Amino acid sequence: MSAPLFLVEALPTGDSLTLDGPEGHHAATVQRLRVGEELLLTDGRGGTATAVVTAVGRGTLDLDVTSRGYADAANPRLVVVQGIAKGDRGDLAVQAMTEVGVDEIVPWAASRCVVQWRGDRGGRARQKWVATAREAAKQARRPWLPVVAGSPDESTATVARRVAGAAAAYVLHEDATDRLTTADLPDSGEVVLVVGPEGGITDAEVGVLAGAGARPVRLGPSVLRTSTAGVAALSVLSTRLGRW
């Protein structure tokens, strides 16, 4: 099994450190790492360090840093505009998309969303997506944390502006004739992928997004759930862009 990864606010500048707080508790108490075992640290912004446990305390680990590294940010950058889903489907989508390499997730208040994020509820729901992405990034050993857009949910007009500024944009739609597997992809910049909610994307929304430059595409003959469509599309893009 590969060394577990833990997130820190900043990587140590010296050759030793103490891992404490929630990450230290998880490493020492939950995963029960022991003296001599190796782990990875990342700041979530590409910086990494390999360290070896030298002592175990109550919810803390003393570490010696053995190597350092840096992973460049991915380019093109993959952004998924995810229609807000009811129940745990949104969390499942965030988890899976993070594991396969999404760089940013934008919550979208599409007109057919059953759930709307408003007020305090919206803030809490967004923070849950942030926490889900964080834990999934750790599980996947990712040196870069995906960004969850700052607004609790974005309107179609806001999404259209994001589409207009992208190097390429695609809307997953079951009635599209073009396939994502053959769509032209840019060499750099931002690739925006729009995934609708359970009820799908309305014709009016498709029109607005297409007018901003998005291309309607499909993955295949099946209609996927909102919680799986994004991860399936990201898998296609990751393969075509040489990430996988």
CATH of the domain at 22: 2.40.240.20
pLDDT band at 86 (very low <50, low <70, confident <90, very high): confident
Name the pLDDT band for 114 (thresholds 50, 70, 90).
Answer: confident
- pTM of the entire predicted model: 0.92
Range of the domain at 237: 77-241
Number of domains within the chain: 2
Residue scoring higher pLDDT (87 or 198)? 198
Structure-block tokens of residue 235: 């898998």
Starting at the edge strand found earlier in the chain, the sheet holding 16-19 runs 5-7, 38-42, 47-56, 61-70, 16-19
For 150-169, what is each residue's pLDDT tens digit?
776 789 999 999 999 999 99
Same domain (yes/no): 117, 49: no
Q: Which amino acid is at 171?
A: V
117 and 169 assigned to the same domain: yes
How do residues 166-195 score in pLDDT, each as one tens digit? Answer: 999 999 999 999 999 999 999 999 999 999
Among 20, 36, 70, the domain boundary falls at 70
Reduce the DSSP state of residue 53 to 3 states and report it. strand
How far apart (Å, rounded) are the C-alpha atoms in residues 119 and 142? Answer: 32
Query: Do 176 and 131 sit in the same domain of this protein?
Result: yes
Domain edge (last residue) among 70, 92, 107: 70
Are both 147 and 32 inside the same structural domain? Answer: no
Confidence of residue 1 (pLDDT cuts 50, 70, 90): low
Whether residues 58 and 94 share a domain: the answer is no
